[in-house]
Amino acid sequence: MKRVWALLLLFTLALAQTPTGEPPPDLSPEVFRIASELRCPVCQGESAAESNAGVSQEMRRQIAEMLKEGKSEEAIKQYFVERYGEWILYAPPKRGINWLLWLAPAIGLLVFGFGLWRYLAEARRREAELALSEEEIRALERRLEEE
């Protein structure tokens, strides 16, 4: 038992994850909500709320602190954008080339919808072309009866 604790101590010291002896801060739901919209800068595609990397824990601590100071969500995000760039935001800001992304659903619906409309118009036109007139139908029916 003692041996295992000692080993774990060695482990954590070697990793220098959190400074030993000092527990991490208490965090409110608000902290995690904000952290979930920020990227963990050293992870492979995890948010600062998901990841347990040292940087993410530090980010959560900072968010908690800034919330305590009464900063708004916007101001907190801005703080991280200044430190890491806009890359830190999981929802790219709506400007410039990012509009392409935000408008993707509208573009998709319009493009596919236009294709669908063209297709249907074409099919209907062909139907009208191929349709038989009343007289033709009657003529055919007469021929059928005769045969």
Partner 1 sequence: MTPGLLGNVALVLGFVFTALGLVLSAVAWWAKDARYVEAAKRAAVFSFLAALLAFAALEWALLTDDFSIAYTAKNHSTKSPTWVKFATLWAALEGSILLWATFQALYTLFAARRLRDYWMAPAVLGTLFGVQLFFFAVMLFVANPFTPVPNPPTEGPGPNPLLQNHWMMAVHPVLMYLGFVGISVPFAYAVAAMLARRYQSWVAETRWWTLVAFGFLTAAIFAGGWWSYEVLGWGGYWAWDPVENASFIPWLLLVAFLHTALVQERRGMFKTWNFAYVTLAFAATVFGTFLTRSGVIQSVHAFVEGAVGPVFLGFLLAVLFVGFSLLSRVASEVRDVGGLNLVSREGLLLGASLVFATMAFVVVLGTLFPLIVEAATGDKVSVGSPFFDSVFAPLGTVLLLLMGAGPLFPWGRLDAYAARALSVMLSALALSMALSLFLGATFGVALGVGLFAYNLVAVFAQAGRGVAAWRKKARGVLAAVFAYLTRARRQVGAQLVHFGVALAALAIVFSQAYRVDAQKTLEVGERAVVAGVPLTLHRLDARDEGFRYAVIAEVEVPGVGRMYPRLHYYPTMNSPLAAPSVHYGLYNDDYLILQAFDTEQGRWATLRLVRTPMVLWLWIAGGIILFGVFYIVFPGFALRRRESAEVAA
Residue 21 binds partner 1, judged by CB under 8 A: yes
Q: What are phi and psi of 88, to 5 degrees?
A: -70, -20
Instruction: Considering only the stretches 67-75, 121-129, 134-142, report the one whose residues sit in contact with partner 1 under the rule CB under 8 A.
Output: 121-129
Using CB under 8 A, pick the residue from 68, 118, 124, 138 that binds partner 1.
124
Compute the distance between CA of residue 105 and CA of residue 52 in angstroms, rounded to an integer.
33
- 38 forms beta bridges with 89
Q: Which residue among 70, 130, 143, 146 contacts partner 1 (CB under 8 A)?
A: 130
Given the complex with partner 1, which of 75 and 120 has the nearer CB atom?
Answer: 120
Binders in 23-42 for partner 1, by CB under 8 A: 23-29, 31-33, 36-37, 39
Distances (CA, A) of 39 to 62, 66, 87, 90: 14, 18, 8, 6
DSSP 53-104: SHHHHHHHHHHHHHHHTT--HHHHHHHHHHHH-GGGBSS--SSTTHHHHHTH
Query: Does residue 72 touch partner 1 according to CB under 8 A?
Result: no
67-75, 117-125, 137-145 -> range binding partner 1 (CB under 8 A): 117-125
Instruction: Figure out which of the listed residues 82, 127, 134, 145 binds partner 1, where binding follows CB under 8 A.
Output: 127
Q: For residue 89, which phi and psi values (nearest 5 degrees)?
A: -85, 135
Residue 48: Cβ-neighbour burial (10 angstroms; 0-12, 13-18, 19+): buried
Query: What residues numbered 47-66 form the site for partner 1, per CB under 8 A?
Result: 47, 49-53, 60
Of 58, 83, 116, 140, the one binding partner 1 (CB under 8 A) is 116
Residues 37, 91: Cα–Cα separation, whole Å:
7
Which residues make up the interface to partner 1 (CB under 8 A)? Answer: 1, 4-5, 7-9, 11-13, 15, 17-18, 20-21, 23-29, 31-33, 36-37, 39, 43-47, 49-53, 60, 85-92, 97-98, 100-102, 104-105, 107-109, 112-113, 116, 119-120, 123-124, 126-127, 130
